[in-house]
Amino acid sequence: MRSSCVLLTALVALAAYYIYIPLPSSVSDPWKLMLLDATFRSAQQVSNLIHNLGLSHHLLALNFIIVIFGKKSAWSSAQVKVTDTDFDGVEVRVFEGSPKPEEPLRRSVVYIHGGGWALASAKIRYYDELCTAMAEELNAVIVSIEYRLVPKVYFPAQIHDVMRATKYFLQPEVLHKYSVDPDRIGISGDSAGGNLAAALGQQFTQDANLKNKLKVQAFIYPVLQALDFNTPSYQQNVNAPVLPRHVMVKYWLDYLQGNCDFVQAMTVNNHTSLDVQEAVALRARLNWTSLLPASITKDYKPVVQTTGNARIVQEIPQLLDARAAPLIAEREVLRHLPKTYILTCEHDVLRDDGIMYAKRLESAGVQVTLDHFEDGFHGCMIFTSWPTNFSVGIRTRDSYIKWLDQNL
């Protein structure tokens, strides 16, 4: 009996040691966040083991775990009709809110899910619930795109998928089929989906047939650049739950089909050192000492290496491609973008990507709403139902939908 008690105590202590991570007191529901983070880390470790055994690519294994426990069929309710179909060969899930009698044509949002360009799905519970809420509360048509993921495809295939599906949807006959007002359409996405949505918006401004087709764009904690992994938010949240810095760097390398041996060099900005000529012209476009307010920069110092590893950018030139990193787009491209909403979270390595993009857009003459949550963490907006319901998840979702309701 005594040995059993000792063993149980040891197991509980080990579990507590594994789950516990130091978190700021200001973050929403800290113990629940620790459990969420521990669950995700466990799934990552299982997928890495599967990869090391040669059974499957670690991202395929990880996404299998995510989808198998979270997949939801297209289930309609009295308020929202949900259907799975494809737009020009790209799978989509369409959510149709009930039209208002006084408004025969509905507004619409094309939504792009997050997941590091490699994980999640439009068909998992988290995104199904988000898009259902959007469709119901906005009386709108939400098109959630099931784009292809790493490692089956790499940049820029994901952009091509969302572009193809969106262009198909914008055809007059398709809009008529779904009773959508062509003057009230927006694009949106979270995390890597926000990256793709931002790239899509910029691509639209450069296509005469698509220019001015979008009324708004809305980005939820978007990832927008890979040139500086030492912005104040990267330094502050280097080991933050859900998305620590080294994981974000790995997602970038996976997306751009780069060598994972570059992770350590990129975390200290060796890929954009002063001797890397290809990055010199772009550095001013994400100079956070001028783009971020003093309340954000605090006492953080820029990390700029004198000499680094020029081979990284030579082997992965996509790092400097604005389609991959929308924050570094030219001002001429930015000034044609529609009214914009950007949601950022304090406890997120990507916080400053969003804030800097808001500043660059404002400087280019775009009307921007920056919605910052002091207790937010990366990914929080999709965590709104038990057992992963966070107070900040509900507040961010409500704030986002409210903005869409007022501006779309």
Residues noted as catalytic: 191, 348, 378
Instruction: With beta carbons less than 8 A apart as the criterion, state whether 265 and 312 touch.
Output: yes
Spell out the residues 6+ positions from residue 184 whose beta carbon is closer than 8 angstroms to its own. 105, 106, 107, 108, 215, 408
Measured CA to CA, the distance from residue 47 to residue 41 in angstroms comes to 10
Three-state DSSP at 144 gives: strand
Decide the pairing of beta strands 180-190 and 106-112.
parallel
Number of H helices, E strands in the chain: 17, 8
CA angle, 127 as apex, 339 and 349 as ends, to 5°?
A: 65
3-state helix, strand, coil in the chain (%, to 5): 50, 15, 35
User: Is the bond preceding 156 in cis, omega lying within 30 degrees of 0?
Assistant: yes
Measured CA to CA, the distance from residue 214 to residue 323 in angstroms comes to 18
Decide the pairing of beta strands 80-87 and 180-190.
unpaired
Q: How far is residue 171 from each of residues 20, 53, 180, 189, measured CA to CA in Å?
A: 51, 47, 11, 21
Q: How far is residue 132 from each of residues 76, 88, 97, 405, measured CA to CA in Å?
A: 9, 23, 8, 15
Instruction: With beta carbons less than 8 A apart as the criterion, state whether 45 and 406 touch.
Output: no
CA atoms within 13 A on the CB side of 219: 34
Beta bridge partners of 87: 90
Measured CA to CA, the distance from residue 176 to residue 279 in angstroms comes to 46
User: Is the bond preceding 151 in cis, omega lying within 30 degrees of 0?
Assistant: yes
Of 210, 252, 243, the C-alpha closest to 336 is 210
Query: How many Cβ atoms sit within 10 Å of the Cβ of residue 310?
Result: 17
